[in-house]
Amino acid sequence: MEVSKLNVYNTLSKRKEVFEPLNPPHVGLYVCGPTVYGDAHLGHARPAITFDILFRYLQHLGYKVRYVRNITDVGHLENDADEGEDKIAKKARLEQVEPMEVVQFFTDRYHRNMDALNVLKPSIEPRASGHIIEQQEMIREILEHGYAYESDGSIYFDVAKYNEDYPYGKLSGRVVDELLATTRELAGQQEKKNSFDFALWKKASPEHIMRWPSEWSDGFPGWHLECSAMSTKYLGKEFDIHGGGLDLLFPHHESEIAQSTAAHGHESVKYWMHNNMITINGQKMGKSLGNFITLDEFFQGNHSLLDRAYSAMTIRFFILQAHYRSTLDFSNEALQASEKGLERLMQAMSQLDKVKPSDVSDFSPAEYEALFYAAMNDDLNTPVLIAHLFDLSKRINSLADGREHLTQTDLDALKQLVHRFLEEILGLKTEEKKVDTTADLDGIMQLLLQVRHEAKLHKDWATADKIRNQLQALGFQIKDTKDGAEWIKS
Ligand code: ZN
């Protein structure tokens, strides 16, 4: 592997490849965003942070990145299938609001969570419902090329027909024969030629509220289509990187490849990248398991599986301490270890400001720089980078203690290096310690009452009265009790 260049693991070729953009210095990056019908949970944080690192690092390397991360606000049906209620519409029905109120509410909350995690905003954040025309246009192209068919007002992608001309399943490794044996016939699928065909356009039932007119029917687009249509619109028929969670590999991304190839006659994406899943205490996350912990619940410590609150930077650091392609298991112990680790790291780095320059250098910052780049160039290996940063933090402690020395030039270079990797690339920052004002105030009041109690024991009435009177002037009532005193704010 050439460590001087960025290598990324391509899910399509199933190996690491040197990253060569199609049209340097421009890079097109598309990542599947959330379906906004509920609060973001830990499973949303991982792709957001993984591709934030990629976005930051590509920009650091000098590329001009157009990062498109969509918002799914229509067409994502329950169970990710072609039948069932639209996830957004269902929430709207239950809450008795407009579907777009649901979308706005959870999009705003998603943005707030992403800001807390220090995830940079994408260059474009398109919504599926704002691109119905583009999706209809793509359906027409696929129909024209013979890879889709109409059935009672709905349009389905003809997987078997496509598979005659292009290899279907190249991303997920699923083959059509196998799919035929494993996909169940569900109610309503008699419309399809084959059970594995997927909807490009669905005719809306009378009670379905999210609907648009078309030459086929009043209806709505299939979930997979939006990403093909929006990536084409903003990044072109061929672009560099498509990312997302491994759970989207099949059928979502496999369908995207088929749609784009059927419409354009060729592959759209050069590098497919997928982050692995997060498990909770060794278990998959699932609605039935009740272990979807939302980010807000993490930040507030407000869930039965949480011992206490964890800050956004702790969550970010925890996610970065694993390679994005490994599974990551959440537990209270693991998060508390991350919290301590991050604190130790930030503490050591802040020591740099106290280091006095010397006439000689005991080591060169360039050694660390080479290690840092080698880690990032190896498919964004953030855990290895963090291990090197911990090694460096020991060196920084020695510098601060005067056991090792650096010249002014090397010291400046080291500060710049730490800033670049810790803040710019990993996106870590020192968090303001949350001040629990009620608890702090009680601590201070107890201290004052203790001093007053001791003054009284020494018959120092002047001090005892002064404390009581001045607290009273500030609105605190002091009540003497058998064992000392109590306070209330009046
Ligand atoms: Zn997508």
- Give per-residue pLDDT as tens, 62-86: 999 999 999 999 878 877 777 788 8
- Which pLDDT does position 74 carry in this prediction? 87
Contacts of 107 (CB under 8 A, 6+ apart): 36, 71, 73
Q: How far, in Å, is the centroid of ligand 1 from the Cα of 227?
A: 5
Q: Are 362 and 225 contained in the same domain?
A: no
Does residue 1 form part of some domain? no
Q: How far, in Å, is the centroid of ligand 1 from the Cα of 231?
A: 9
Q: Is the pLDDT of residue 331 over 70?
A: yes
> From the CA atom positions of the chain, what is the Rg in Å?
29
Secondary structure of 450-462 in HEC code, one letter for each residue: HHHHHHHHCCCHH
User: Over the stretch 366-417, which tens digit does the pLDDT of each residue have?
Assistant: 999 999 999 999 999 999 999 999 999 999 999 999 999 999 999 999 999 9
Contact 277, 43 (CB under 8 A): yes
Q: How far, in Å, is the centroid of ligand 1 from the Cα of 222?
A: 11
Q: Is the pLDDT of residue 432 over 80?
A: no
Distance CA 297, CA 294 (A): 5
Q: Are 317 and 381 contained in the same domain?
A: yes
Q: How far, in Å, is the centroid of ligand 1 from the Cα of 28?
A: 15
- Which pLDDT does position 58 carry in this prediction? 98
What are the backbone dihedrals phi and psi of residue 172, each rounded to the nearest 5 degrees, phi first? Answer: -90, -15
Contact 377, 54 (CB under 8 A): no
Name the region of 415 (left: φ>0; alpha: ψ -120 to 50; beta: rest).
alpha
Domain range holding 181? 7-275
* Domains: count for the chain: 3
What's the CATH code of the domain at 319?
1.20.120.640
Q: Is the pLDDT of residue 3 over 90?
A: no
- Which pLDDT does position 488 carry in this prediction? 82
Tokens matching residue 238:
């061929």
User: Over the stretch 241-288, which tens digit does the pLDDT of each residue have?
Assistant: 999 999 999 999 999 999 999 999 999 999 999 999 999 888 888 767
Q: Are 139 and 216 contained in the same domain?
A: yes
Does residue 17 form part of some domain? yes
Q: Are 460 and 349 contained in the same domain?
A: no
Q: How far, in Å, is the centroid of ligand 1 from the Cα of 275?
A: 14
User: Over the stretch 236-252, which tens digit does the pLDDT of each residue have?
Assistant: 999 999 999 999 999 99
- Which pLDDT does position 487 carry in this prediction? 83
Does residue 80 form part of some domain? yes
Q: Are 387 and 258 contained in the same domain?
A: no
Q: Is the pLDDT of residue 437 over 70?
A: no
Does residue 212 form part of some domain? yes
Q: How far, in Å, is the centroid of ligand 1 from the Cα of 323?
A: 22
Among 275, 305, 328, give the residue marking a domain's end. Answer: 275
Does residue 351 form part of some domain? yes
Does residue 11 form part of some domain? yes
What's the CATH code of the domain at 102?
3.40.50.620
Tokens matching residue 345:
């790291």
Among 218, 246, 275, give the residue marking a domain's end. Answer: 275
User: Over the stretch 165-196, which tens digit does the pLDDT of each residue have?
Assistant: 999 999 998 877 777 666 655 545 578 999 89
> Percent of the chain beyond pLDDT 90?
74
Distance CA 490, CA 110 (A): 40
Locus of tokens 């088929």: 258
Output the pTM of the full model: 0.87
Distance CA 337, CA 324 (A): 19
Q: How far, in Å, is the centroid of ligand 1 from the Cα of 74?
A: 12
